[in-house]
Amino acid sequence: MVTAQSQFDLYENANIHRGMYDLSNQATKKFENARTQTARFLGCNNADTIAFTQGTTASINIVAQSFLAPRLQVGDNIVTTIMEHHANFIPWQMLAKKYQIELRIAPMNKDGDLDLIELKSLIDHKTQLLAVSHVSNTLGTIHPLDEITRLAKNKEIPILIDAAQSACHFEIGVDSLNCDFLTFSGHKMFGPFGVGILQVSEKYLGDMIPFNFGGGIIKDVQIEKTSFRNFPHNLDAGTPNVSGVIGLAAALKLISDIGKSDMESHLNNLTLFALDQLPQVPGIEIIGNPKKRIGIISFNLKNIHPHDIASFLNKDGIALRAGMHCTQPLLRSMGLQATARISFSIYNKEEEINKLILSLKELINFWS
């Protein structure tokens, strides 16, 4: 990823879709190849379903503004869940407020699994979107997307899936997941920061209307009116993050070369090993016990705040996130103020989990 990006920055740097010179043409070609490559990564032949964005948050906000806002009417509702990252919650909350529609929030049970019966009861003929994540960034819950998407597809309701936590190790795509909008970020899959993907199903490509105006997205501009290109070329007004996109394409190649199923099974083994070993830490409380979980485990220690845990483990070279993980509604619904969170990647090893456990035990001894 770094090599691909720096090759572009050092030797091939030029703006795209602009110049009539070789360097620009070559940059355009690389950029558009990245689109084709991304489509293929998502099991799709149509590169025009892919928009490059600044990340998951940006992708979700684009769906909110470009697709959803223009079709909302008083009395409509949007359905999401209590388990979402703020990025997949606040945009809907804001639309609900602005357009006086209802935001319906599916609850979860105490194990950290979505309550599918409740979810089903929230979806009706006035639902304009179902927005749900694939994997919870706080509990690691893998949501049963087959069942969930069926609930909405039966009623022809558009579905958005936030795949920020699953894009790296699960087969995803609007076709394979049976959804209409798919969002994820480069930096969670060995790609650069500040670049991400929005994939839109062919059914709704024509409903993606521009909302962020400027150069690069137009067909024709007259003093009285402007006509626009089609999705995805009607979204990225201005100059896109060309080197970021080229870096992202290299990251996708890396993931394909390693193989998603190998990644998934490695993460799964680490998660199971950690769940097996962590209970030996005195006073540990593992948060949630979902039916299926991958890569992420939240926990608390008796009497030691997650921030203090993270600060001390940092001194042992262990990077642990502590706090609310941008999921305040989720934590509140569990009566929690913060958690410490372990998250694994392909480079982690079982020895590191053993080291984590030793560090936690040492911290508990020190604290008492």
Partner 1 sequence: MTKQELQQLYKCEILPENEKPYHFQKSLEASFSIEAYNAICGDKYTLYFDISEGQISSVYFYGIGCALSKASISIMCKNMENLNPENIINLSKKFISGMNPEHPSKPINKKIQLLQKLKDFNGRGDCIKLGWEAVKNHFENNEV
Ligand X SMILES: Cc1ncc(COP(=O)(O)O)c(C=O)c1O
The string of DSSP codes covering 173-225 is -TTTTT-SEEEEEGGGTTS-TT-EEEEE-GGGGGG----S-STTSEEEE-SS-
Which one of partner 1, ligand X, none is in contact with 55 (Cβ closer than 5 to 8 A by kind)?
ligand X
Asked if residue 168 lies in contact with residue 178, where contact means CB atoms within 8 angstroms, the answer is: no
Binders in 5-34 for ligand X, by CB under 6 A: none
* 253 vs 321 by CB, closer to partner 1: 321
Q: Shortest gap between Cβ of 108 and partner 1 (angstroms)?
A: 19
Contact between 154 and partner 1 by CB under 8 A: the answer reads no
Which one of ligand X, partner 1, none is in contact with 133 (Cβ closer than 5 to 8 A by kind)?
ligand X
Which one of ligand X, partner 1, none is in contact with 87 (Cβ closer than 5 to 8 A by kind)?
ligand X
Asked if residue 198 lies in contact with residue 181, where contact means CB atoms within 8 angstroms, the answer is: yes
Q: Which stretch binds ligand X (CB under 6 A): 29-37, 124-132, 162-170, 313-321?
A: 162-170
Sheet holding 296-301, edge to edge: 284-286, 296-301, 339-343, 321-323
Contact between 42 and ligand X by CB under 6 A: the answer reads no
Measured between alpha carbons, how far is residue 6 from residues 21, 192, 237, 248, 364 in Å?
21, 11, 24, 12, 45
182 is written with which tokens? 């798919």
Contact between 366 and partner 1 by CB under 8 A: the answer reads yes
Q: Binding partner 1 by CB under 8 A: which of 12, 175, 308, 352?
A: 308
Catalytic-residue membership of 44: no
Q: Binding partner 1 by CB under 8 A: which of 13, 265, 328, 354?
A: 328
Could you tell me which residues are beta bridge partners of residue 321? 341
Closest to 88 measured CA to CA, from 264, 328, 295, 296: 328
Contact between 315 and partner 1 by CB under 8 A: the answer reads yes
Contact between 331 and partner 1 by CB under 8 A: the answer reads yes
Q: Binding partner 1 by CB under 8 A: which of 230, 269, 337, 354?
A: 337
Which one of ligand X, partner 1, none is in contact with 312 (Cβ closer than 5 to 8 A by kind)?
partner 1
Closest to 30 measured CA to CA, from 39, 17, 45: 17
Contact between 358 and partner 1 by CB under 8 A: the answer reads no
The residue assigned the tokens 């050092």 is 10
Q: Which residues are catalytic?
A: 326
Applying CB under 8 A, the residues found at the interface with partner 1 are 304-308, 311-312, 314-316, 322-324, 328, 331, 337-338, 366-367
